[in-house]
Amino acid sequence: MVGLTHTVKTSGCASKLPVADLARILSSIPLMKDDRLLVGVETSDDALAYDLGDGRVMVQSVDFFPPVADDPYDFGQVAAANALSDLYAMGAEPAVAMNVMCFPSCMELEIMRSILLGAQDKVREAGAVIAGGHTIADSTIKYGLAVTGFTTRDRLWTNRGAHEGDALVITKRLGVGILNTMIKAGMADESVVRKSLDSMKMLNRRAFETACSFTVHAATDITGFSLMGHLNEMAEGAGLSVEIDSAAVPVFEEAIEGARFGMNPQGMYNNRDYLEDKVAFASSVTREMQDVFFDPQTSGPLALAMSDEDAVRFVELFGQPAAVIGHFTARKDVAISVL
* Residue 317 belongs to domain with CATH number: 3.90.650.10
**Is the distance from CB of 16 to CB of 224 less than 8 angstroms?**
yes
Looking at residue 56, which CATH number applies to its domain? 3.30.1330.10
Residue 303 in any domain: the answer is yes
Task: Please name the residues in contact with 103: beta carbons below 8 A apart, sequence gap of 6 or more.
Answer: 112, 135, 136, 137, 138, 141
The whole-number average pLDDT for the span 316-337 is 97
Q: Tell me: do 141 and 179 sit in the same domain.
A: no
* Average pLDDT over the chain, rounded to an integer: 93
Residue 316 in any domain: the answer is yes
SS3 of residue 252 by DSSP:
coil
Residue 162 in any domain: the answer is no
Residue 215 in any domain: the answer is yes
Domain of residue 266, residue span: 167-338
Residue 10 in any domain: the answer is yes
Q: What is the residue type of 246?
A: S
Q: Tell me: do 318 and 257 sit in the same domain.
A: yes
Domain endpoint, select from 104, 126, 155 = 155
The whole-number average pLDDT for the span 293-312 is 97
Residue 160 in any domain: the answer is no
Per-residue confidence (pLDDT) for residue 14, from 0 to 100: 57
Per the structure, the count of domains in the chain is 2
The whole-number average pLDDT for the span 326-332 is 97
Q: Tell me: do 194 and 68 sit in the same domain.
A: no
SS3 of residue 6 by DSSP:
helix
Strand order in the sheet with 129-137: 37-39, 48-51, 56-65, 142-152, 93-103, 129-137
Q: Is the pLDDT of residue 15 over 70?
A: no
Domain endpoint, select from 155, 183, 205 = 155
Per-residue confidence (pLDDT) for residue 43, from 0 to 100: 76
Q: Tell me: do 242 and 333 sit in the same domain.
A: yes
- 13 as an active site residue: the answer is yes
Q: Tell me: do 112 and 208 sit in the same domain.
A: no
